[in-house]
């Protein structure tokens, strides 16, 4: 099973927790300035994608690294280009690190990328070692530990038929509205929680407890 780990150019709030993200056999893709995070974690990128205006000073790519350069005047962010390249590798899973924090517009744009219908067949998540963000289109599993915070946020409209398992405040075929905060700050009761919906698009934010 192919797994791609993409480093964006956002923040990694805790390097110790970020070191848990890479797995043996991962294909490492860096979205331009995200290269700095891979280097900090001792990883050699397989691909660097973008306009290359944010690479670390003095960086010299390894012979194992393929550079895919785009013009600075483009319609996509470097991360979107990196995700498109990852999809061409036909992975079962994509994890995007360092896509949160820093500029709010970039953070919101990075989250929005995950809502692209062409990603429906792939398990794709933003994960910085502290928070994990992904969309539920039908059903989803959250893996963590008791006490972890899980927030359910309707994306682009109401989400109906929301059912949860193993969360402190359960939902039983409820409707969540985008202008209400009912789904914020629920808590896991064990190492796994489950969410199912009938219609809509539901953003799940999972935060590890007591960092």
Domains of the chain from N-terminus onward: 3-129 (3.40.50.10240), 139-207 (2.60.120.320)
148, 208 in Cβ contact below 8 A?
yes
CA 186 – CA 193 distance, rounded (Å): 11
Q: Give pLDDT, residue 150.
A: 97
Q: Is the pTM of this model over 0.85?
A: yes
Q: What was the pLDDT predicted at 210? A: 66
Beta carbons within 8 Å of 21's beta carbon, 6+ residues apart: 5, 95, 97, 127, 129
Tokens 């995007």 correspond to what residue?
A: 96
| pLDDT of res. 151 | 98
In this predicted structure, what is the pLDDT of residue 61?
83
What is the residue-level pLDDT of the chain in tens, covering all 211 positions?
799 999 999 888 888 888 889 999 999 999 999 999 999 999 999 999 999 988 888 888 888 899 999 998 889 999 999 999 999 999 999 999 999 877 899 899 999 999 999 998 889 999 988 899 999 999 999 999 999 999 999 999 999 999 999 999 999 999 999 999 999 999 999 999 999 999 999 999 999 876 5
Q: Which of 51, 204, 208, 87 is nearest to 140 (CA)?
A: 204
């Amino acid at each position: 099973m192919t797994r791609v780990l993409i480093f964006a150019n956002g923040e990694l709030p805790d390097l110790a927790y970020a070191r848990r993200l890479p797995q043996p056999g991962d294909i490492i893709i860096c979205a331009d300035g995200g290269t700095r995070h891979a280097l900090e974690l001792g990883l050699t990128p397989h691909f660097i994608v973008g306009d290359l205006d944010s690479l670390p000073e003095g960086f010299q790519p390894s012979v194992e690294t393929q550079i895919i350069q785009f013009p600075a005047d483009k319609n996509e962010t470097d991360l979107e280009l990196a995700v498109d390249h990852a999809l061409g590798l036909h992975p079962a899973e994509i994890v995007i690190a360092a896509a949160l924090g820093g500029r709010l517009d970039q953070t919101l744009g990075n989250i929005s990328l995950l809502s692209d219908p062409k990603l429906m067949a792939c398990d794709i998540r933003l994960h910085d070692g502290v928070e994990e963000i992904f969309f539920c289109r039908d059903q989803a599993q959250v893996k963590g530990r008791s006490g972890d915070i899980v927030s359910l946020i309707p994306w682009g409209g109401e989400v109906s038929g929301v059912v949860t398992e193993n969360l402190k405040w359960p939902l039983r075929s409820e409707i969540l509205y985008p202008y209400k905060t009912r789904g914020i700050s629920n808590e896991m009761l064990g190492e796994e929680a489950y969410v199912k919906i009938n219609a809509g698009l539901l953003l799940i934010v999972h935060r590890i407890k007591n960092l």
